[in-house]
Amino acid sequence: MLEARVFCSTRKGPHLLLIGGVHGDEPCGTVALTRLADELSRGAVTLKCGRVTLVPMANPQAQAEGKRLVDVNLNRVLHKHENPHHYEHFIANSICDHIEKVDAVLDLHAVTASSPPFTFLDWDTPAGRAWIAALGVPFALTGWDELYPPDSGSSSTSSYAHGLGKTAVALECGQKTDPAAADVAYTMARVSLAHFGLTEAYAHTPQKSQALRMTKVVWKEQAGELLGEFENFSPVKADQPLARLADGTTLTADADGYIIMPKATAVIGEEWYYLAVPFSV
């Protein structure tokens, strides 16, 4: 069962969907959207127009079990499943129903390594850029849709929404175990409501995001270890050793750039880290 809270103004306006907890071990969105739902419910936050649907806990079973996922990664199977056979397939179908009804989608996540907030600049549209500029987090990443092209079968909240012509932003709010990530998630939710005109402005000073292009995803295909205490966006140099595999192979950086979303605890078959280089928008 998936809980959604819908708040409607009596005046027409955009319909925004805010999602938290797609990954069960990333509590920031759940904490932030539960707080926002409470504030909307008791009138501490009011809508000037439009409507907002909040799904604070998008993967309830994974969250109850303290895990990222139950069967499969929900944000790689986020499309309609005619014959759902994994837990996340059923959840994906419900989330797709919500996405189909709204104008814009904000999906709140967190990462394993220590990290500043960042967003994704894929499916680049003027509306998406304007929203990202309003959010004003330190980094904006592009290249996700090239690492996970549609014919790879991978589908996220953002790609599903964009496929329907909607505006969508996925936001990583910081480190998943850092309580400050929930504050970031709350601020981003409030800034988004204000950006679409649903509420009065929310006090926030946006930064100009540094744009990076993701060039590679490295999957953990056998046992091994990362060769450093990498944080998200740690700079790396070309040929710098990044990881060592059990068979003795060393994985290195392709170019001067950054290591993105390093996951020291990745299990075999998971994404281990990504590489990115600066680019100008």
Contact (Cβ atoms closer than 8 angstroms) between residue 70 and residue 38: no
- Binding segment for Zn ion among 15-23, 27-35, 135-143, 260-268 (CB under 5 A)? 15-23
Q: For helices 180-195 and 126-135, what crossing angle results, to 10°?
A: 130
Q: Which is nearer to Zn ion, 23 or 76 (CB)?
A: 23
Q: Which residues contact 259 (CB under 8 A, 6 or more apart)?
A: 230, 232, 233, 234, 236, 242, 253, 273, 274, 275, 276
Instruction: Report in angstroms the alpha-carbon separations of 138 from 80, 92, 115, 206, 236.
Output: 33, 30, 10, 9, 18
Q: Is 176 in the site for Zn ion (CB under 5 A)?
A: no
**Minimum CB distance to Zn ion, residue 58 (Å):** 10
Measured from the CB atom, is 114 or 240 closer to Zn ion?
114
Q: How many residues bind Zn ion (CB under 5 A)?
A: 3
Closest CA to 220 of 242, 245, 240: 245
Interface with Zn ion in residues 86-125 (CB under 5 A) = 109
CB of 42 to Zn ion, least distance (A): 29
Measured CA distances, 128 to 115, 225, 240 (Å) = 22, 37, 35
**Smallest separation (angstroms) from Zn ion to the CB of 107:** 8
- Chain residues 19-38 in contact with Zn ion, contact rule CB under 5 A: 23, 26
Cβ closer to Zn ion: 27 or 128?
27
Beta bridge partners of 126: none
Least distance in Å: CB of 238 to Zn ion? 29
Which helix (H) or strand (E) is 224 found in, with range?
strand 224-226
If the CB atoms of residues 21 and 50 are measured against Zn ion, the closer one turns out to be: 21
- How many CB atoms are closer than 10 A to CB 136? 17
Stretch that binds Zn ion, among 16-24, 98-106, 152-160, 215-223 (CB under 5 A): 16-24
Nearer to Zn ion, 23 or 35 (CB): 23
Residue ranges that bind Zn ion, judged by CB under 5 A: 23, 26, 109
